[in-house]
């Protein structure tokens, strides 16, 4: 049996280093926000016979120097294009460039604009506020649920402390992922949008599920091993569930990696956030959440 709890200083040190680096990245560079949060334009276009490649579309717009450009295939012949807020003359230049694209072997491929909408900065600020609110609401309900689920556990650690330990682990996950995307935004120009918030909420659910499984085994073992110390019981519980946690995470990662490499460009960043979240969430549920309980117990003693 591996002494995970006995080596908790190593895990705490590693997690502290990750969180510190992430906070530094966020303070220096911040997250590169997409038009969902900053405002911008959405253009939906269609081609009558065949849709040009994403490389052709990007090339046709490169001379216009448009920032925050994102291409999303839609249906069989359509594109949804997102970019910064523009004036009407630039709008017409974009349409002209898209209409001039030629596809080898395809004649009379007529171009048409389906819709053109602007997302104002006011709506973007509202989305940012709602994103933060949704994450905070989820965290509060997680504490309440865990406190209720573990209400019969009062010794040696109160039930609500299980919830707080889980929240600390989840906060660790969110900060590390946000720090990684701050670095990706600075070096690779990767933006975060509403899908990124969806990914964070999904990660919270996945990570807390893994944590609760370990906590539940700890609760069971508290009634079975009265002759052992709390740290020993927690260590037994983590070792009993670690294989299950890793297997679940690996199978989830296989699916996500398949989607990342073979799925559409429009969801790559969303899937990347999920991949990072599964890895970091699995680590925190095993090496951070449960060891926190033992620290709490020692301080109480």
| Whether residue 156 has a cis bond before it, omega within 30° of 0 | yes
Per-residue pLDDT, 139? 86
Place 118 in a pLDDT band, splitting at 50, 70 and 90. confident
Place 79 in a pLDDT band, splitting at 50, 70 and 90. very high
Of 185, 245, 180, give the one whose Cα is nearest residue 212: 245
- pLDDT tens digits for 155-211? 677 778 888 899 999 999 999 999 999 999 999 888 898 889 899 989 988 999 889
Of 80, 51, 85, 91, give the one whose Cα is nearest residue 68: 85
Mean of all residue pLDDT scores within the chain: 88
The pTM (predicted TM-score) of the whole model is 0.83
Check whether 120 has a pLDDT greater than 80: no
Place 295 in a pLDDT band, splitting at 50, 70 and 90. confident
Q: What is the CA radius of gyration of the chain?
A: 24
Report d(CA 212, CA 290) in Å as an integer.
Answer: 10
Check whether 125 has a pLDDT greater than 80: no
Per-residue pLDDT, 193? 85
Residues sharing a CB contact under 8 Å with residue 173, sequence separation 6 or more, in sequence order? 203, 204, 207, 277, 280, 281, 284
Check whether 123 has a pLDDT greater than 70: no
Q: What are the chain's domains?
A: 8-34+122-300 (1.20.1640.10), 40-119 (3.30.70.3400)
Check whether 36 has a pLDDT greater than 80: no
Check whether 232 has a pLDDT greater than 60: yes
Of 47, 45, 89, 44, give the one whose Cα is nearest residue 66: 89
One DSSP character per residue, 175-233 reads HHHHHHHHHHHHHH---B-HHHHHHHHHHHHHHHHHHHHHHHHHHHHHHH-TTS-HHHH
Per-residue pLDDT, 245? 94
Report d(CA 124, CA 68) in Å as an integer.
Answer: 15
Mean pLDDT of the region 54-71: 87
- pLDDT tens digits for 88-111? 899 999 999 999 999 988 889 999
Per-residue pLDDT, 266? 76
Beta bridge partners of 40: 119
What is the side-by-side order of every strand in the sheet holding 111-119? 70-74, 78-83, 40-47, 111-119
Of 158, 80, 152, 169, give the one whose Cα is nearest residue 119: 80
């Amino acid at each position: 049996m591996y002494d995970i709890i006995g080596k908790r200083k190593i895990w705490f040190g590693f997690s502290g280093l990750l969180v510190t680096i992430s906070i530094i990245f966020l303070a220096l560079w911040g997250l590169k926000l997409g038009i969902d949060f900053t405002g911008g334009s959405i253009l939906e276009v269609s081609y009558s016979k065949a849709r040009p490649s994403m490389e052709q579309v990007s090339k046709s717009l490169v001379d216009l120097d448009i920032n925050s450009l994102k291409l999303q295939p839609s249906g069989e012949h359509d594109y949804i294009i997102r970019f910064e807020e523009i004036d009407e003359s630039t709008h017409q230049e974009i349409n002209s460039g898209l209409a001039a694209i030629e596809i080898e072997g395809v004649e009379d491929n007529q171009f048409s604009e389906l819709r053109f909408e602007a997302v104002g900065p006011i709506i973007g600020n509202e989305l940012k506020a709602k994103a933060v609110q949704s994450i905070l609401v989820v965290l509060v309900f997680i504490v309440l649920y865990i406190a209720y689920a573990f209400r019969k556990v009062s010794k040696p650690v109160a039930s609500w402390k299980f919830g707080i330990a889980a929240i600390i682990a989840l906060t660790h996950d969110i900060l590390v992922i946000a720090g990684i995307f701050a670095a990706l935004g600075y070096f690779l120009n990767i933006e975060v949008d509403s899908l990124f918030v969806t990914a964070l909420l999904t990660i919270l659910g996945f990570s807390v599920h893994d944590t609760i499984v370990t906590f539940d085994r700890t609760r069971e073992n508290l009634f079975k091993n009265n002759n052992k110390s709390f740290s020993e019981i927690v260590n037994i519980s983590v070792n009993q569930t670690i294989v299950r946690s890793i297997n679940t995470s690996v199978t989830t990662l296989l699916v996500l990696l398949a989607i990342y490499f073979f799925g559409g460009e429009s969801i790559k960043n969303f899937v990347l956030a999920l991949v990072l979240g599964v890895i970091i969430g699995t680590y925190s549920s095993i090496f951070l959440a449960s060891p926190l309980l033992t620290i709490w117990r020692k301080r109480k003693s």
